Structure 1
Amino acid sequence: MLTSLQNPLVKQLRKLKRGRDRQEQNRFLLEGTHLVEVACEVGFPLDTVCSTPRWCDRHPDLWVRLQSQAVRTEQVSEAVLEAIATTVTPDGVIATAPRQMPQMPTEPVNVGMMIETLQDPGNLGTIIRTAAGAGVEGLWLTADSVDLDHPKVLRASAGQWFRLPMGVAADPIAQIQRCRTSGMQVVATLPTADTGYWDVDLTRPTLFLLGNEGAGLSPTWIEQADLKVTIALAPGVESLNVAIAAALLVYEARRQRSHGSA
């Protein structure tokens, strides 16, 4: 069992809290039983799994599965696990995996989202979880957004990170144009738009454009939209959280596809 914080493996794993080191090692962290269990279910490759003896006693079947799936498994002390984890109270297991998306989205898709310069990992994780629940088939981010494999993104996704096709668009405008060429309508959300999002036919293949938490969509992205829609707000309310806005849009698309357009 590993008990020293000076162990080379422990020192290497502790560095994965930082984005720069995740890039250099080409690895990221999976923290907690649920994320590790979902990774097993979908067959996602795992490099190293560290767990406490107490966790192994509580999850003997999962521990056996991890031993057969991961390249390396180690039991570690509570202190070592806490030093590796980004959470305050880790539940006893952490894994590392190669930096790769579960599946890259490809056009055409029935419902997709592209988000410009998203910064908050909690927002992104919530969007991933919501998008997967609503049946979204593709999510693209710009390269200047938060890392898709940021630990907080993975935790906020509640395991749906492994189930949603997503990736970084090297050339966002070109990607929008490819989606349009494939037959998708491009819908941008703007507070000044005259059309409510529920008044648009979302039974058509649709790509939603969403903007930065503070600045919203840039003029360049707005120009790419075929349709501009708004989410009506009560007087005195300036905007919604981007994850809430995304949820309203994708679930309206799901509603229309289930019951017919409004």
Structure 2
Amino acid sequence: MLTSLQNPLVKQLRKLHRAKERREQQLFLLEGTHLIEEACAVGVALNTVCYTEHWQQNHESLWQKIQARSSRIELVSPEVLKAIATTVEPDGIVATVDRFHTQPVQFTKLGLVLETIQDPGNLGTIIRTAAAAGVEGLWLSADCVDLESPKVLRSSSGQWFRLPMSTSDLRTDILKAKQQGMQVIATVPSATQTYWEIDFTQPSLVLMGNEGAGLSDELIELADIQVTIPLAPGVESLNVAIATALILYEARRQQEKI
């Protein structure tokens, strides 16, 4: 059992709390039973797994799966596990996974583009919603919050593994999507059309912008259509994750009628 916070492995894993270290080590942390269950369900290989004795005793079925797909397994004390995890009260298991969201994402029916999303809770919630709404994938600008942030992973409720995602040169990729026949829809507060007036039965790419500033002028200019979400008097805006959910589910509603 690892009991020392000075152990080299423990020090290495604690560094993964920082985005810079995740990039340099090409690893990120999975914290908690649910995320590790979801990773195993879609065949993700686990690098190093640290677990407590109490956790193992209560998760025998998952333990068997972990043993079959992990490169290194370490029994650790509760104190060590708490030091490795970013959560205040970890549930007894933490693993590392190779960074892998670098593959190209292609859209044919419904895609989502996110520009400069800064809050990890928002990004994780959008990922969860996009997966539930049947979005084919997600493009993110390079200045979005780190995709492998522990809070992004937790907020996605495991759907992080089920949605193709990549950091993208948004202008270049949006132009390519337009050439391939996708309509590009920008969410803009000053637009005159509401989102439910749009024909989402056509292949569509939805653009959502920063929590405070919205979409950049550069991306707005690329859009074929600008839409808004009506708000009651005195309400300035909606949370970006909520706004995204409204638009994606309207798209799904229309597409299911085809």
TM-score by length of 1: 0.96
CA RMSD of aligned residues (A): 1.0
Q: Match for residue 170 of structure 2?
A: 172
CA contact (8 A) 1:102 1:164 kept: no
Q: How many residues align?
A: 258
Q: Match for residue 161 of structure 1?
A: 160
State the Cα deviation string for residues 185-225 of structure 1 (Å, max 9, x = none): 00001111000100010111100011100100111111000
Instruction: Report the secondary structure of 1:71's partner residue.
Output: strand
**What is the CA-CA distance between 1:102 and the residue it aligns to?**
8.3
Which stretches of structure 1, 4 residues or more, deviate above 2 A after TM superposition? none
**What is the CA-CA distance between 1:104 and the residue it aligns to?**
4.0
Distance of aligned partners of 1:43 and 1:151 in 2 relative to their CA distance in 1, 3 Å threshold: same
User: Which has the higher mean CA deviation after the structures are superposed, 126-135 or 95-104?
Assistant: 95-104
**Identity in percent:** 62
Matches within 5 A, 1:75-90: 75-90=75-90
CA contact (8 A) 2:102 2:167 kept: no
Q: Match for residue 118 of structure 1?
A: 117
**What is the CA-CA distance between 1:68 and the residue it aligns to?**
1.3
State the Cα deviation string for residues 132-176 of structure 1 (Å, max 9, x = none): 00000010000011011110000000000000011100x210110
Q: Tell me, yes or no, if structure 1 residue 147 matches structure 2 residue 157.
A: no
Instruction: Report the secondary structure of 2:46's partner residue.
Output: coil
**What is the CA-CA distance between 1:50 and the residue it aligns to?**
0.5
CA contact (8 A) 1:110 1:206 kept: yes
Amino acid of the structure 2 residue aligned with 1:246: T
Extract unaligned runs of 5+ from structure 2: none
Extract unaligned runs of 5+ from structure 1: none
In 2, Cα distance between equivalents of 1:120 and 1:22: 18
In 1, Cα distance between equivalents of 2:197 and 2:61: 50
Q: Tell me, yes or no, if structure 1 residue 217 matches structure 2 residue 220.
A: no
Amino acid of the structure 2 residue aligned with 1:11: K
CA contact (8 A) 1:102 1:165 kept: no
Matches within 5 A, 1:1-262: 1-101=1-101, 104-106=104-106, 108-169=107-168, 171-259=169-257
**What is the CA-CA distance between 1:109 and the residue it aligns to?**
2.5
CA contact (8 A) 1:51 1:81 kept: yes
TM-score by length of 2: 0.98
State the Cα deviation string for residues 70-106 of structure 1 (Å, max 9, x = none): 1001111000000000001100000000111286411
**What is the CA-CA distance between 1:238 and the residue it aligns to?**
1.0
State the Cα deviation string for residues 107-139 of structure 1 (Å, max 9, x = none): x32111111111000000000000000000010
Instruction: Report the secondary structure of 1:158's partner residue.
Output: coil
Instruction: Report the secondary structure of 2:171's partner residue.
Output: helix
